[in-house]
Amino acid sequence: MKKKVLISTGGSGGHVIPAITLCNHLKNTHEILISTDKRGLKYLDNNYKAFVINTPKLNNYFLLPFSFLKIFFLTIKSFFLLKKKNISILISTGGYMSLPLCLAAKILGINIFLIEPNRVLGRANKFFLNFSRKLICYSKNLINLPSETNYKLTTIKPLIRKEYYETGTYQKQDNFFTIIIMGGSQGAKIFDELLNKSFVSVAKQVSIKIIHQTSEKNINFLKDFYFQNNIESRVFSFDHNLNEVLKQGDLCITRAGASSLAELSFLNIPFIAIPLPSSKDNHQYENAKYYEEQDCCWIINQKNFDDQKFEKFLFKLTNKSQDYMTKKNNLLKLNYQNTWNNVNQKILKIINEN
């Protein structure tokens, strides 16, 4: 009989994408269920057995008593759910949404495995570290990891969705230098109001095409902007086949979520990372810094953004400078022997270890 595994996730794509990837790695050897909050449902289709645990945030001091009370009742709900489903392994991708399930799993003596995609140990994962069997991450140099728990850390290659391994080479049909903007589904002023002005200047000197991900509310504005400035473009909010979109890019300008950077790296697309300044513990900057240290990307500090310097820099990259080609070659080296099967075998070994 297959062991039953519950993968706890929710919130952003940065939590749900690793969960989906884990599900596909384990589905042939284990029976898999996924727990998410309401926000995470949009990333899941009918192929996944998912149920909702809508954990409240703990960032409002006035509502803390009510939040703790709700977490208490969600922990009881999780306790009976884990028992009823006969779950033997809980895997958490981090975040506050994992609290009730991890608490219930600890009470029931269920093996807990933590996934940390970022270069900085998240607060929820740090809280549950002593209760867990293993902490699975992408680097041995995990920031904020207590030294006494080093023995629990084990590394794997970044969790990348299976379709990325199956993505074919893109055959260019034009002479455009294609720039992909990953502004996130919520959009951001720097991506939607500052960068596009620089593209107008660059487009006067070289043929560029813009593929721009933004929030739903900004789609029409950006479409009109690119049309009025005669810039070839495609503007969208969400695409289930993002790998097919990304592979068209010569360059990507992006935030620095762990999954996004891992996927761009695997597809061998040089990228400019503009980390979210408000990310907890500055983890987006640390994610990008890892690739910068491998000479695989560039980092721009949003607070010090200079449009004139950026335009000159971007124009240089569109000519595929030596710096650009170095980044591209280093990305190839970084992903040497990164195969679905190699990652799959490593995950199974960790989960099945006595």
Q: Each residue of 104-119: pLDDT tens digit?
A: 999 999 999 999 999 9
Sorting pLDDT into bands at 50, 70 and 90, what band is 151? very high
* The two structure tokens encoding residue 249: 């890019």
| The pLDDT of residue 187 is above 60 | no
What single-letter amino acid sits at 233? S
pLDDT value, residue 354? 64
**One CATH from 3.40.50.300, 3.40.50.10540, 3.40.50.2000, 3.30.300.130 for 165-334:** 3.40.50.2000
Range with the poorest average pLDDT among 53-67, 87-101, 298-312, 314-328:
53-67
- CATH 3.40.50.2000 domain extents, the chain: 4-157+338-352, 165-334
Mean of all residue pLDDT scores within the chain: 90
Between 50 and 165, whose confidence is greater? Answer: 165
Res. 209: pLDDT tops 70: yes
Q: Indicate the DSSP class of residue 85.
A: T
According to the model, what pLDDT value does residue 313 have?
A: 94
Work out whether strand 4-8 and strand 89-92 pair parallel, antiparallel, or are unpaired: parallel
| Fold topology of 4-157+338-352 | Rossmann fold (3.40.50)
* Cα(98)–Cα(132) distance, integer angstroms: 13
Q: What is the pLDDT of residues 221-236, one digit of tens each?
A: 999 999 999 999 999 9
Spatial distance between the Cα atoms of 255 and 274, rounded to a whole number of angstroms: 5
Give the span between the Cα atoms of 292 and 46, in whole angstroms: 38
b/e burial code for range 130-143 (CB count within 10 A of at least 16 → b): eebbbbbbbeeebe
pLDDT in tens, 16-65: 889 999 999 999 999 999 998 888 777 777 777 788 888 878 777 677 78
- With 70 as the cut, is the pLDDT of residue 14 above it? yes
Looking up tokens 């990228």, which residue turns up?
271
- End-to-end CA, the chain: 17
Q: What is the pLDDT of residue 185?
A: 55
CA distance 74 to 343: 33
Q: What is the pLDDT of residue 340?
A: 96
Predicted TM-score (pTM) of this structure: 0.91
pLDDT tens per residue across span 240-277: 889 999 999 999 999 999 999 999 999 999 999 999 88
CB 192 within 8 Å of CB 222 = yes
